[in-house]
Every structure is written in C-alpha cells, then in structure tokens.
A and B are shown apart, each in its own frame.
Chain A
C-alpha cells in the first residue's frame, strides 16, 4: 500500500522499516510537566488509531507531579510511532519534535533524526526559561540547530489570540496551548478533529467555556497549518491506514488490558474478583480501573500498605474469591513473606508486578525488566511460583487470563510481570471476544475427601493441586497456616519426612504447570540456525523489528519470545540448542540470560540496557550484526 508523504522532508522518509516507501512517522511531544503533554499525546494517539494507522507510544514523564516549571528535569514527553505498516515500537528517533519550551528542546533534540523537524513555541523562549534550560544564548540564534529543520513561532501568542473571546485569565488561556499544538499536528497528518471536539465537550461538560476555548485553540492550530504561508517543512502528510485483520478495534494501555484480563479470568473461573492494592507508580492504574468495575463482581480494597494489600487478597482467596494484588518492585519486595504463605498454604493468587527501574525507589516512572530474579527466586525457603510475562499492552489481556488460570487450576500464587512501558503505553487492539477463551471453572470441595469422612485439605489431584475449601462449608472445618504441615491433614507437622514430602510436592506441582502451557514456538524465523534472539516482556517490539530487518538483509537470525518465564516451556532447551548462538536482550544486567544458562546449559549471551529507556531497534540490529560477524 503506497503512502503519500507529499514533499516530505528526507527525514520523514528515511530510516523506515520498509526501504522503498515511507510508511511510518515518529512524533515526540515534549513540554513542561504542567503543559499537558501526556494528554496531548493520548489524544493524538486516539485520532491516529481512528485514522486506521498502526501505532505504538512511549509516555516518558518525570516522577515529580509538578516539577518546577521550565526546568530540565520537569520535562514530560510523549512519543508516538505510527504508520501504515506493522508498528511494534515507539520508534527509535523522532522525525518530528514538538518542543513547548527551551528545556523540552534541550532534553529531546539530540534524539531527533538528522534533518528532522522541530516545531517550537518561541513565546516560551524568554531569558528566564533559557536560563532554566541552561542555554547561554537562544538555540535559534547560535546555529546549534543547523542539522534540523526548525519551525519556531509564537504558539503562546497565537493561542492567547484564539481564546481571547472567552475571557479567560492569562494562565488559563495559556493552558489551551496544548490543544493549539494538537490542532496543528492533526492538520499535519490529515486527521479528523471531530472526535477531539466531542472529547473536549465531554471533559469540560461542567465548564462549557473551557470546552469552547480549547476547541477554539484546536481549530486555530489546525487553521494555522492550513492557511499560514510557511516555507519549507510544514506540509501535510497523509499516511494510509495500516493493513490489519478485519474487526473492531480500540486503543488500549497495558494497565487497562490487565484490568480487563483479570475480570475475564475471574469470569472464566466462575469467581468473584478481589483486588487488594496500595498506590504505587506505575501499578496504581490497575486499581483505578478495577474500582470502576464493581458490577463485574469486583471488590477493590485500598489497603494500608503493600503487605496488607497482598494479605487481604490471600484472605479473600481463602474465602473463595479470586484474590489479586499488584505493585511495582519495592512493593513486591514487601509482599515477599505473604507470597511465601500463599505458596505454603497453596491458595490461588495473582500478583501483578509493573516493573520499574531499581533497586530501592530507583526510577519510579521509567521502565526496566530487573525484577525477574525477584519474581522467580525472591522469597525465603524453597518457594516455587509460576511467572508469566506480557510482551505488549494488548498481550497483557491474555497473560492476565493465563495467570488466573494457572492460579486456580494449580492452587498457587502466580506472578504476572509487566513494566512501566507496557502499563502506560497504548496500542491498537483488536477487541477480543471474551467468549472465545476456554473456561476453567473452579469446583470447591463440598464433601469430606478422605476415608471415613476425614477432611484432607492437603490431598492432591493429578496436577498436584490441593482442594479449595471455603470457610462456611459445613463439615469441612480445618486449619491452615505457614508452618510446615502434614501432607494430608494439613495439621502442623515439621517432621523430616513431612518437610521433604511437602517441599517435593510444592516443587513438582509448579514444575507440572509446564504440562499445561503451549510449547515454545519460534516467533519469527526458523527452528535452528545461526542465531536466536531470545526475549521476554516489553522488548518484544524492538527485537521483532530488528530481527525482521536483519532477515531482510539475509542474516540467519530468528526471534524467540518467551511468555512463560517459570516454569519454562518444556521444549525451550532443545529449541535453543538448535542455534549456534543465543542472544538475550534485556533491560537489566542479564537476568533471563542467567536463568536460561542455569536451566539449559546454553551459552546465552547478554545484551543489556539499564537507562530507563526501551531498546531502540538499531541497538538490537547492531548486536545481531556483531553476533554474526
């Protein structure tokens, strides 16, 4: 499908996945954290999706809610990669940078492709803001922006002019700047304004004057693009819709997909959902989403701390609900002891870990995959626990269902790993049919299960799972707890034989989960060959594109992306041994690489990045080339 990038600058046509036709564009909106860049990006994303382009986004914002205005560390950015081909990453380098102030320009311009377009608001490039951004002279005057195309004009003044009729105060009027900019962007990419106008009317339903002002700003920005006699770079581009499977689509973030997946998982199990959480970035959005879904039998509980959050979820599971808790690394660390109790008492539980940079408080709003050891090994004692990792926002829906399935079928806590990138990023999502998933209904024990009417809470089925017995069930009274127990009755028993038997049983049960998961497939490429690039989680996008490009250049490389981190798919070891080299790109210092080496004695080589930013395609391409050199 040909895409028309009429008279597009070279930067807009170069560096794309498809060598011949430019089919994708990367735009980064950057401004002060009070400038509404995430909102601008989010609405631009929606309009892009409605235009039928495939897309991926990368919201990148500071940890401070309102960092001091104009400062370098207060810059908030939102990057979107969209086009008419398959898009798997938020894009390496932007083609277009919208910079709302000097700090935003300074912190983002180096990422811009050579020849790329800078749109900047000169109204904000005053002496004070330049100083805050550590510019001695205005970058428009010192030639430092020579390798890019610059379109600098006073967006602030144009916005004030556009919203003048509404009599807003200066501060309020200037807050419409982001809509003005969005209007210009919508014009640039030939987008329909109506959905945005509808959205603004809904958002400001209680303050119609604000709705009108924002709409006026949006229209003014759009009109500016249409009518201004601008030389050079500002041209209109039309990207044809991406080819995708027929069906109903929407955009979805990882946090939304997980919330819906948990609801779906509980429905498939025939259970009510209990979610115990404690606010933490970037995991809180799941609690926010679920709190609004009470009609689905969802109970949400904002606990007093992370420990109480998981403890309440375990208590709810004990009572017959599907207990879920969620956090990010530091909170997961606090939950460790309670996870051990869920493993020991063998109660179902889903623990969602939206990973962020660590250790300790680390990088609260940046992404990393460094909690893999914590997920697989991070508890006292021999405490095996299944771990599932989502690779993208939409994949998180299926992964959440899978985590619920394993939890109830094997009577075990399960950790679902996502990360800050997946949680916040949006992508188009073909709306799944919840009825297309195989149900896994739970059967509680209702009658004594031992000889002579005995109750044996720790008798095991063929999968090694114990019965789920709800308090309130007549005749099945029993006691459970964290002390080692008798293999049948569950009574306290820390005799040598009992601990050996129970340790083995817990391990065998979790190992057995491998029998219920699909065999590992080659994600892209062939079974066997020179190089396998093995990944997990949100590195899927850049790995996929890098392998695709390398294969197009004739390199013998395949992609293997793993969802089930623990237990690993039973064929993975043999599969990996079919390649001469194994490369494992990870946003940590090599955790999955170590697990693969340990489990399969394969010579897996790491490719690590811990900058808080996702991999670029180019970084992985370079590593592939080096590995095959």
Chain B
C-alpha cells in the first residue's frame, strides 16, 4: 500500500454495474465481498486503486471492482503491475491471480515480483484446480487428483504457494480461506505492509473441486484443523488445548498438548512475524499431522523496488539537464564548413 489520504467510501461504491459471472456458490464471491468491505475501511481512493489480473476465474475480479482495472494475459499480471508501479508509484496496486495463473504459467513472474519487492498486494486464489478451462488438475492439486487430463489420478507432487513465495524472497506471507471471518483482517495486514504482500486464499471451486479444503474449513473440523497465527501470541489451536513446539533435536515443529492452559509449560512457541526461520517451518508444515497455519505467517518489510528505482533515477539525474541537442553533439565530432567558393 501507499501512504495516502484516506477517502470515505462504502462497500457499494466499490461495486461495478457488471453482472458477476462466477458459478453460484463459488468461493470467489466471498473474497470479492471481503475485498470490497476492506477497501472503505482502509480509506482507499477508487481513482488511485488498480486491480491487475491474469487469466482464470479469479482474474475476472477487476471487472467487479469500481476502481481502475486491467485484465491482462495468462500469468503475466506481475510484469504489467511492475511497469505500472514504476510509471506511477502513487498507485495502490492489487494483483489477483490463481494457482494456475500464478504458480504454473506465471510462476516465473510471481518469483520475480516477490524477489524485487514491488509494493503491491498479491492475492492468489488457490482452488487446486483449473476452473475456467473445465477442471484439469493444477500445480497445487494433491497427488491422485482425478481430472480430465489425469483420469487415473495425478502423479506429480503439488507446489506450496506460500513456501514458493517465501523462497522467492517474499517479505509478507499470509494465508486465509474464502469464507473466513478473518480474511478481511489478513487483507488489511497485507495492505499495511510496505512491499510485496503475498496472500494465499484457499477458495472452494464448487464445480470442479468441491470441498477440497473441508478438512479444515468445515465447522466440525475447524478447531482441530486451523491454527490462526498472531504476532506475539502463542501458537495454539483446538481451543487452546494444543500448540506448536520446536523439537530442538530435529529442528522441526511438533504438536504438543497443553494442560490447563499452561502453554509455556508445554513449550509452545510464541509467534514472531519477523522470524524467517519459523516462517519456513510454518509454510512447510504438512496438513494432517499438523493443523493448517493461517493468518499472517511472516511480515518483515524491506525497501520497495519502485522506491529504489525512483531513488536511483533521482540520483542519476541530479545536477544534469535533459538537453538532447547537447547529448547528440557530445563526444568526438567534426564540423564540415560551407564551401568558401
């Protein structure tokens, strides 16, 4: 995000006159509402807000937000956003992508936008499937996913978006899911972060990959399946009866039971959003033996790419005038005189 004067808007101000064309019941609706709720709360200015997307169901997002919007080509949204931010660093740019767009065809650009630390919010809707092309498995699909291109089940191992983002040099890594009450708070934290803020949002594709996240999003499994991280708070889940501790021998996380709320006695760690080593452990934590780590996993800002570019441009131009005629006649030149005869 950028420092800018807060503008007073309501959720309605951020709705366009376009009919939303996602499948009824799609998780994208909930994400759209969460974003439209957050934008007034953070005082965003529609004229200075730009949603940039690639291709896929998620990438239709810009058409439904009453701001500037650019629906680009498959996987390349980060590159368009980079040019846009360098041209006008004042803009507040949100990138909307999916697991196919951002992790497969556009994986390279996702890596570089994070490495460079462009000041933008990257929302990766992960539904573990290709929706718009009718249900093929994606780079985040679990082994054994049956799809039109994998009728006997997929055999390749899935990528982990948050681990990829952190490995690419990301300085803000967070996770949430479409219908979570916490999603707006995670989005606000991403917006508050100066630099590339990567948010993986688990999204339910009710047509091609229904309930694939139900193991931790369903009410019955939420307590045991979700661990919401908060900076400075112990990493507890299952109503405070379990927590994460560090096994000093293996340098791995382990689940420990907490008796009578005494998490300290159980060795439960306190979450520190600036602890990069812990962030690596959290994003690699396998679901099943462990709960799903949600919320802000890592948040440790560094100078942004566009600020560095602007700064370099300013320093390189200092004391110089943009005189093209002088530039052209610089260096070794010679003069041909008019013939005296």
B288-319 interface (Cβ within 8 A of A)? 309, 312-313, 316-317
Q: Give every chain B residue within 8 A of A431 (Cβ-Cβ).
A: 328-329, 333
Is the CB of B208 closer than 8 A to any CB of chain A? no
A272, A316, A481, A483: which contacts B84 (Cβ < 8 A)?
A316
Known contacts A50-B334, A299-B313, A474-B47; A434/B82 CB under 8 A: no
> Which residues from B are CB-within-8-Å of A318?
70, 80, 83-84, 87
Does A337 belong to the interface (CB within 8 Å)? yes
Find out whether the CB atom of B334 lies under 8 angstroms from the CB atom of A478.
no
Whether, in the assembled complex, A20 has its beta carbon less than 8 Å from a beta carbon of chain B, the answer is no
- List residues of A (415-467) whose CB comes within 8 Å of B's CBs: 431-435
Pick from B63, B78, B79, B84: contact of A471, CB below 8 A: B84
Does residue A472 face the partner (Cβ distance < 8 Å to B)?
Answer: yes
Q: Is A473 interfacial (CB-CB < 8 Å)?
A: yes
Q: Determine if B248 is an interface residue (Cβ-Cβ < 8 Å).
A: no
Q: Is A313 an interface residue (CB 8 A)?
A: yes
Residues of B within 8 A of A341 (CB): 72-73
Bound together, the chains give a CA A470 to CA B63 distance in angstroms of 17
* B39-76 with Cβ < 8 A to chain A: 46-48, 50, 52, 62-63, 66-74, 76
Does A206 lie at the interface of the complex (its beta carbon under 8 Å from any beta carbon of B)?
Answer: no
A52 at interface (Cβ–Cβ under 8 A)? yes
Contact B332 A315 (CB under 8 A): no
Q: Which residue of B lies closest to A264 (CB)?
A: B324
Complex: chain B residue closest to A296, CB-CB: B322
With A244-B336, A274-B83 as contacts: A319 and B91 at CB distance below 8 Å: yes
Given contacts A308-B79, A314-B80, A480-B71, contact A248 B333 (CB under 8 A): yes
Contact with A along B266-280 (1 / 0, CB 8 A): 000000000000000
Q: Is A68 an interface residue (CB 8 A)?
A: no
Interface residues as binary, A551-585 with B (CB distance below 8 Å gives 1, 0 otherwise):
00000000000000000000000000000000000
Q: For the complex, is A245 an interface residue (Cβ under 8 Å from B)?
A: yes
Specify the chain A residue showing the minimal Cβ separation from B50.
Answer: A471
Q: Is A475 located at the chain interface by the 8 A CB criterion? A: yes
Alpha-carbon separation in the docked complex, A296 to B330 (Å): 15
Asked if A66 lies at the interface with its beta carbon under 8 angstroms from chain B, I say: no
Given contact pairs A315-B87, A338-B73, A434 touches B336 in the complex (Cβ within 8 A): no
Given A276-B83, A299-B313, A318-B80: A479 and B62 interface contact (C-beta under 8 Å)? yes
Shortest Cβ gap from A440 to chain B (Å): 16
- B18 lies within 8 A of A308 (CB): no
Query: Counting CB contacts under 8 A, is A622 at the interface?
Result: no
Please indicate the chain B residues that have their CB under 8 angstroms from the CB of A304 in the complex: 79, 108-109, 111-112
Q: Is the CB of A470 within 8 A of B88?
A: yes
Indicate the member of A319, A432, A476, A491 with the most B CB atoms within 10 Å.
A319
Closest Cβ of chain A to B67, distance in Å, is 5
Q: How far is the CB of A349 from chain B (nearest CB, A)?
A: 10
B62 A52 Cβ-Cβ under 8 A? no
How many A residues touch B, CB cutoff 8 Å? 71
B16 CB-CB contact with A under 8 Å: yes
Q: Is A387 an interface residue (CB 8 A)?
A: no
In-complex Cβ contact of A248 among B84, B321, B329 (8 A): B329
CA distance A294 to B322 in the complex (A): 9
Task: Using CB atoms, name the residue of chain B closest to A478.
Answer: B68
Let me know if B320 is at the binding interface, CB within 8 A: yes
B90, CB-defined interface residue at 8 Å: yes
| Residue on B nearest A338 in the bound complex, by CB | B73
The yes or no answer to A63 lying at the interface (CB within 8 A) is no
CA–CA, A301 to B317, complex, Å?
17
B337 at the interface (CB under 8 A from A): yes
A590 to chain B, nearest CB (A): 33
**Complex-state Cα separation, A249 to B73, whole angstroms:** 46
Question: Of A246, A248, A295, which contacts B317 at CB under 8 A?
Answer: A295
Give Cα A481 to B52, complex, Å.
10
With A481-B72, A482-B72 known as contacts, the answer to whether A296 contacts B324 (CB < 8 A) is yes
Cross-chain contact A314 with B325 (CB below 8 angstroms): no
Closest B-chain residue to A49, C-beta based? B334
Beta-carbon contact of B325 and A433 below 8 Å: yes
A323 interfacial by beta-carbon distance below 8 Å: yes
Is B331 part of the binding interface, using a Cβ–Cβ cutoff of 8 Å?
yes
Name the one of B18, B320, B324 contacting A260, with C-beta atoms under 8 angstroms: B324
By beta carbon, the residue of chain A nearest B310 is A299
> Which residues of A sit under 8 angstroms from B317, Cβ to Cβ?
294-295
Contact partner of A250 among B47, B50, B112, B332, CB < 8 A?
Answer: B332
Give the residue of A296, A311, A337 whose beta carbon is less than 8 angstroms from that of B79.
A311
Against A, the Cβ 8 Å flags (1 = close, 0 = not) of B92-121 are 000000000000000011011000000000
Q: What 0/1 pattern do residues 476 to 518 of A give for CB contact below 8 A with B?
A: 1111111100000001100000000000000000000000000
Question: Which residue on B lies nearest to A294, using beta carbons?
Answer: B316
Extra 8 A-B pairs, beta carbons < 8 Å, given A246-B339, A260-B327, A318-B87: A46-B332, A50-B332, A249-B336, A274-B83, A307-B76, A316-B84, A472-B68, A479-B71
Residues of A within 8 A of B (CB): 46, 49-50, 52, 195, 241, 244-251, 260, 263-264, 267, 272, 274, 276, 293-297, 299, 301, 303-305, 307-309, 311-321, 323, 337-338, 341, 345, 431-435, 470-483, 491-492
25 A-B residue pairings within 8 Å (CB atoms): A49-B334, A246-B336, A248-B335, A260-B327, A274-B83, A276-B83, A294-B312, A294-B317, A295-B320, A299-B86, A299-B309, A307-B76, A311-B73, A311-B76, A312-B80, A315-B81, A318-B70, A318-B87, A319-B87, A338-B73, A431-B333, A472-B88, A477-B69, A479-B68, A482-B72
Instruction: Give the top 4 A-B pairs by smallest Cβ distance, nearest first.
Output: A481-B71, A315-B83, A319-B87, A312-B83
Q: Which residues of chain B have a CB within 8 Å of any CB of chain A? A: 16, 18, 46-48, 50, 52, 62-63, 66-74, 76, 78-88, 90-91, 108-109, 111-112, 309, 312-313, 316-317, 320-322, 324-325, 327-329, 331-339
